[in-house]
Amino acid sequence: MNTTKQALTIAGFDSGGGAGMQADLKVFQERQIFGTCVLTALPIQNTCGVQKVYDLPLEAIKDQLAVIAEDFDIDVTKIGMLFSKEIIQLVSDFLKTVDFGPIVLDPVMVAKSGHALLKESAIQTLKEELLPLVTIVTPNIPEAEILANMSIQTKEDMVLAGQKIQQLGVKHVVVKGGHHIEGDLSEDVLVLDNQESYWLKNKRIDTKNTHGTGCTFSACMAAELGKGKSVLESLQIAKEYIQAAISDGIDVGHGHGPTNHWA
Ligand code: PLP
């Protein structure tokens, strides 16, 4: 018997290979957990950005979830682009009926190119229906501002936002400081359900090749959680992993090249 832990990503598509479902599956493979996937939406994109997003029929998303549940023993679930309130409702209703392990939510809202990956009308459903089911949510600062309904200017604000997001029912929150707080460091804060908080710091890297950073980071966290690591350990591993992946980001395409991690 050659068994392995099994992960599911519920995510959007990237023909450019650097973000979304494609990034998640690459990370799962490298972190040695078997990856399955459910497509939620079809963005037309490359390293230069997202041009448009095609909807999938809701029935097609439902059917994909059903065949995964029929056939696999999922140990961890990662959720990325959800796009609409109808998809969020469908995914939330489904997750209530299965035990697919801890749930990591990357609350994808806007691509670096500025294109919306989540409709504004979907945010309330994300907060009310999905967040209470989630083990750990990984917003960057703009996403945390929207989820916590506050502006974030300081490190103290990051912790406060994490606590406010927890009040929506999610267990743990990591607020990623990456792009938005001044200084040489990229600092993230983990707010645990026991109210302890931990700061994780790395040197900021000056590069344009950052496409898929959030997806890669949260996929690595999910892989480690799926293999049985604690939330804090998984986060520490993911922080180092994304640091290396940003520093090895590659110049493919003509826009923001993807983060990259050779095995
Ligand atoms: N496309 C998809 C399908 C995604 O899930 C994400 C994730 O955030 C992105 C694009 C974002 O890409 P970028 O890192 O360039 O903002």
Q: Which atom of ligand 1 is nearest to the CA of 108?
A: 8
For the chain, 263 residues long, give each residue's pLDDT as a single digit of tens: 899 999 999 999 999 999 999 999 999 999 999 999 999 999 999 999 999 999 999 999 999 999 999 999 999 999 999 999 999 999 999 999 999 999 999 999 999 889 999 999 999 999 999 999 999 999 999 999 999 999 999 999 999 999 999 999 999 999 999 866 578 899 999 999 999 999 999 999 999 999 999 999 999 999 999 999 999 999 999 999 999 999 999 999 999 999 998 87
Residue 78 appears among annotated catalytic residues:
no
Q: Is the dihedral of CA 30, 36, 38, 42 positive or negative?
A: positive
**1 alpha carbon – ligand 1 mean position (Å):** 37
Q: For tokens 């309130």, what's the residue?
A: 85
**Predicted pLDDT of residue 263:** 76
Count other Cβ atoms within 10 Å, centred on residue 97.
9
Q: What is the ipTM of this complex?
A: 0.94
Indicate the length of the chain as a whole number. Answer: 263
- Which residues approach ligand 1 with their CB closer than 6 A? 11-14, 19-20, 43, 45, 80-81, 108, 111-112, 117, 211-215, 256
**Per-residue pLDDT, 181:** 59
Domain assignments of the chain as residue spans, ordered by start: 6-247
Name the β-bridge partners of 53: 43
Count of C-beta atoms within a 10 Å radius of residue 10: 28
Distance between CA 20 and CA 237 in Å, rounded? 20
Q: Cβ(11)–Cβ(39) under 8 Å?
A: yes
- Among the listed residues 7, 4, 3, the one whose alpha carbon sits nearest the alpha carbon of residue 74: 7
Residue with tokens 């459903």: 125
Centre of ligand 1 to C-alpha 195, Å, is 30
Query: Which residue out of 213, 216, 220, 249 is catalytically annotated?
Result: 213
135 is catalytic: no
Beta-carbon contacts of 153 under 8 Å, excluding residues fewer than 6 positions away, are none
Chain centroid to Cα 68, Å, comes to 20
Between strands 49-55 and 41-46, the pairing is antiparallel
DSSP assignment of 17-29: SSSHHHHHHHHHH
CA of 262 to the centre of ligand 1 (A): 20
Is residue 246 within 8 A of residue 210, CB to CB? The reply is yes
> For ligand 1, what atom is nearest to the CA of residue 112?
16
Q: How far is CA 189 from CA 101, 199, 241, in A?
A: 23, 5, 16
Angstrom CA distances, 38 to 11, 21, 22, 231, 255, stand at 6, 8, 11, 24, 27
Give the nearest ligand 1 atom to 110 CA.
16
Contacts of 221 (CB under 8 A, 6+ apart): 104, 136, 138, 234, 235, 237, 238
Question: At 73, phi and psi to the nearest 5?
Answer: -105, 90
Query: How many CB atoms neighbour CB 257 within 10 A?
Result: 20
Q: CATH class for domain 6-247?
A: alpha beta
DSSP at 230:
-
pTM: 0.97
Q: Are strands 76-79 and 6-11 parallel, antiparallel or unpaired?
A: parallel
